[in-house]
Amino acid sequence: MAVDREQFRKLLKEKGLKVTRQRLLVLEAIASRPEEHLTAEEIYELVKLSYPEIGLATVYRTIQLLNELHLIDRINFDDGFVRYEMGYDHGGRQQHHHHHLICLKCGRVISFQDDLLEELEAKIAETTGFRIVDHEVKFYGCCVECGGDLLEEKRE
């Protein structure tokens, strides 16, 4: 996924922030791996390939800034690492809700997109007046490679 550099520059300027090469590279590193959920250290390693002099502290500060600007999302899969992914598509629109399947055996994380909760969110808003702006869903189980087809075993 490509990053709209011009839109990113505009957003930074609107917030009174400098447009730096490091900020662009960190955002592009995350955007370049849309199916992955990268740790700060993995992002650092990706950026270092094209900008060897960057420091890990700069990457951490940039990630914090991008998260505060809602350009990336912070995710915790309860594995001891904080991970990041794009929160917006390259046009600046919030990405379609997606959820995560987490394999308890191998740790693999699979993203899937569905609007299963839209009806529930509408019902909550209707009955309570609470306006939901985001949600996060994580399902824990076993992937196919680790024996995810356990239903077949239980039937036998």
Model pLDDT for residues 122-138, shown as the tens digit of each residue = 899 999 999 887 777 88
**Residue 147: pLDDT band by 50, 70, 90 thresholds?**
confident
Specify which of 6-20, 41-55, 101-115, 130-144 reaches the highest per-range mean pLDDT.
Answer: 41-55
Does position 16 have pLDDT exceeding 70, yes or no?
A: yes
Residue 54, number of CB atoms within 10 A of its CB: 17
What pLDDT is recorded for position 58? 96
Average pLDDT of 42-54?
96
Q: Using N-to-C axis directions, what is the helix angle for 21-31 and 56-68, rounded to 10°?
A: 70
**Domains of the chain listed by start with CATH number:** 1-95 (1.10.10.10), 97-156 (3.30.1490.190)
Share of the chain above pLDDT 90, in %: 30
Closest CA to 133 of 141, 146, 121, 142: 121
Q: Tally the C-alpha atoms within 13 A of residue 61's C-alpha that lie toward its C-beta.
A: 9
Are 34 and 85 spatial neighbours (Cβ–Cβ below 8 Å)? yes
User: pLDDT tens, 25-36?
Assistant: 998 899 888 888
pTM of structure: 0.69
User: pLDDT tens, 62-102?
Assistant: 999 998 888 888 888 878 889 998 875 444 444 556 788 88
Does position 152 have pLDDT exceeding 80, yes or no?
A: no
What pLDDT is recorded for position 102? 86
Q: What span, in angstroms and rounded, lies between the C-alpha atoms of 18 and 131?
A: 33
What pLDDT is recorded for position 89? 47
Beta strand 82-86 with 72-76: parallel, antiparallel or unpaired? antiparallel
Beta strand 138-141 with 98-103: parallel, antiparallel or unpaired? parallel
Of 10-24, 48-62, 79-93, the one with minimum mean pLDDT is: 79-93
Q: Which residue has the tokens 């394999």?
A: 103
Are 101 and 141 spatial neighbours (Cβ–Cβ below 8 Å)? yes
